Chain A
Amino acid sequence: MSLVPRRAHVVATALLVVSGLAGACDAAPINPDNIGWVTTLVDSTPPALQEARTFAVPDTIVALNGGTLNHAQDKAIAAEVRAQFLALGWIEKKDTTGVKPDVVIVMGTNTRTEVGISYADWFPAYGWIPYWGTPADPSWVWGAPAGAIAYVYEVGTLVITMVDLRAPRQTTKRVPVLWVAAVNGVLTDNPILPRVITGIDQAFAQSPYLRIP
């Protein structure tokens, strides 16, 4: 028997085994179930967050980066965020003219992929920061919690940001951010409400430091 066909057979077997091994190596398939991650970042530098007690949540989710968003679910999403803060002992302060709340919770969604803390091109979306009171312009940038890790914020990420209204930094033109929650893969033109709510609940569950003692 010739050795050449045997050799070819061995090589073919090896190639099949290699293909099998390569296939067996675990992959991360991309589908709506496994891109739904939730990240939270916090500036735990005392005493800003520890001393905050009152909050406000505007009912509008803005579409960042000049995109568009169906706002049919905005109120339901804002209501869930509001309920979570109330459950943690915070006091809601809706009054925009009297004593302002300590923090305002602003929400936006990415309409393009961003890396870092996801509030690029925010000014065309907000124009101003609710409850902020101080004039702002596009030269202002959003701060990031100290030690924050840069993430890739995919299109459709809901970003919930806690802005400290007690510390406007006029000279640095930096919006002071105390806490950021990003819920990925939940917002399209039509928000996937059950997944948004689940993601919001997870964001608060993994942020125990938000509880008022």
Chain B
Amino acid sequence: MTNRRWFLLTQLLVALFVASLTAPRAQAQTQAALSEPSNFMSLTTFELSLPLGDTKKYVTGGLGPGLGWEGRWTVNAHSSAGVSLTVAGFSRHTDATIDFPSGAATGDQLRQLMPAQLLATGYVYPFQKNGVRWYAGGGVGGGHVDQDFTLGTQQLSRGAWHLVVAPEIGAEVRGGPDRLFVGVFSLRYNAPIASGDYLGGGSRKFQYLTLRIGIGEE
């Protein structure tokens, strides 16, 4: 089920990405014809996340993959605002014994976490150097975390909504014809507020630090 959910969400992101390639391009071409710069940037981001805090229990290989789409509208020469949709995946295989109050279980276990976030974002661009435009800012919004625990062929699932604060620093690099293509490199700290009633008992805040590499166009 988790892989299916993951696949559906990634399909949604791809659809958003494809749509974003079409709409802004038409808008950009119209604006180019009017000799006006585009004020919208569409980004698809490929992400690698380092688990922190409660999330550390859900990674075997050290990092979790992710994917995102982000739209940024220019507010003025030094700031932008937008929206960001991301999904990430963390998983860990173990083969150990878990003790419960009324018993124990041993066998192949798979723990999975899939956080999905929708954030309103805002960035400031304090300076530009050698064609690289540096920025700082972040996002605030909501996120849902799916938690799955599989023992053999048996799966237990929980999930909860969280308020998320995600500060971010990064850089934009432009290239291509009319400098319409953008590369973005950034670090985002995903800090959800603790909530939910997860497996293992009680609320959790699944934090992680994400390296985002984005490609897009204006």
Q: A44's contact among B91, B102, B105, by CB below 8 Å, is which?
A: B102
- A11-B18, A185-B152 given; A37·B103 CB < 8 A: no
The answer to whether residues A147 and B67 also contact, given A10-B21, A36-B152 and a CB cut-off of 8 A, is no
Contact of A206 with B by CB under 8 A: yes
Whether a CB of chain B sits under 8 angstroms from the CB of A97 is no
Cβ–Cβ contact B65 & A41, under 8 A: no
Asked whether, in the complex, the Cβ of A22 is within 8 Å of the Cβ of B153, the reply is: no
Which of B106-114, B125-133, B161-169 forms contacts with chain A? B106-114
Question: Hey, what's the 0/1 contact readout for A137-172 against B, CB within 8 Å counting as 1?
Answer: 000000001111101101000000000000000000
Option from A15, A42, A202 in Cβ contact (under 8 Å) with B103: A42
Which residue of B has the minimal Cβ distance to A45? B102
B-side contacts of A40, CB under 8 Å: 103-105
Instruction: Give the residues from 142 to 181 in chain B that come closer than 8 angstroms, CB to CB, to chain A.
Output: 150-154, 177
Picked from A1, A10, A36, the residue with its CB within 8 Å of the CB of B107 is A36
Q: Contacting B7 at CB < 8 Å: which of A22, A42, A152?
A: A22
Contact of A206 with B102 in the complex, beta carbons under 8 Å: no
B119 at the interface (CB under 8 A from A): no
CB contact between A41 and one of B3, B89, B103 (< 8 Å): that residue: B103
Name which residue of chain A comes closest to B46, CB basis.
A17
B11 contacts across to A, CB distance below 8 A: 18
Q: Within 8 Å of chain A (Cβ to Cβ): is B6?
A: yes
Name the one of B93, B103, B153 contacting A35, with C-beta atoms under 8 angstroms.
B153
What A residues does B100 contact at CB under 8 A? 147, 149
By size class, the interface of chain B is 35 or more
Q: Decide if B184 is an interface residue (CB 8 Å cutoff).
A: no
With a CB–CB cut-off of 8 A, which chain A residues contact B104?
39-40, 206-207
Assess whether B116 is interfacial by the CB under 8 Å rule.
no
Known: A3-B25, A149-B100, A151-B154. A37 touches B106 (CB 8 A): yes
B203 contacts partner chain A, Cβ-Cβ < 8 Å = no
- Closest-CB distance, A155 to chain B (whole angstroms): 11
Establish whether residues B152 and A146, one from each chain, have CB atoms under 8 Å apart when the complex forms. Answer: no
Decide: B105 and A42 in contact? CB cutoff 8 A: no
Closest to B99 in A: A206
Residues from chain A with a CB closer than 8 A to the CB of B93 are 26
B193 at interface by CB-CB < 8 Å = no
In the complex, the answer to whether A37 meets B102 with C-beta atoms within 8 Å is no
Chain B residue nearest in CB terms to A8 = B21
Query: Is B97 close to A, CB under 8 A?
Result: yes
Q: Which of A22-81 touch B at CB < 8 Å?
A: 22, 24-28, 30, 33-44
Interface centre among A146, A206, A207 (most CB of B within 10 A): A206
Contact between chains at B14 and A206 (CB < 8 Å): no
Q: Which of chain B's residues have a CB closer than 8 A to the CB of A7?
A: 21, 25
Q: What residue in chain A is nearest B180 (Cβ atoms)?
A: A3
B148 to chain A, nearest CB (A): 9
**A206 — nearest CB in chain B belongs to which residue?**
B104
Contact B21 A21 (CB under 8 A): no
* Residues on the A chain within 8 Å of B60, using CB: 26
Contact between A146 and B14, CB atoms less than 8 A apart: no
Interface pair B152/A37, CB less than 8 Å apart: yes
Interface pairs (18), CB distance under 8 Å? A22-B6, A28-B108, A28-B150, A33-B108, A34-B152, A36-B107, A37-B106, A37-B152, A39-B105, A40-B105, A41-B102, A43-B102, A151-B154, A154-B152, A184-B107, A185-B152, A206-B104, A207-B104
Q: A1-B177, A35-B108 are in contact. List 11 more A-B contacts (CB 8 A).
A: A10-B21, A11-B14, A11-B18, A14-B14, A18-B13, A18-B67, A21-B65, A30-B153, A34-B107, A34-B152, A41-B102
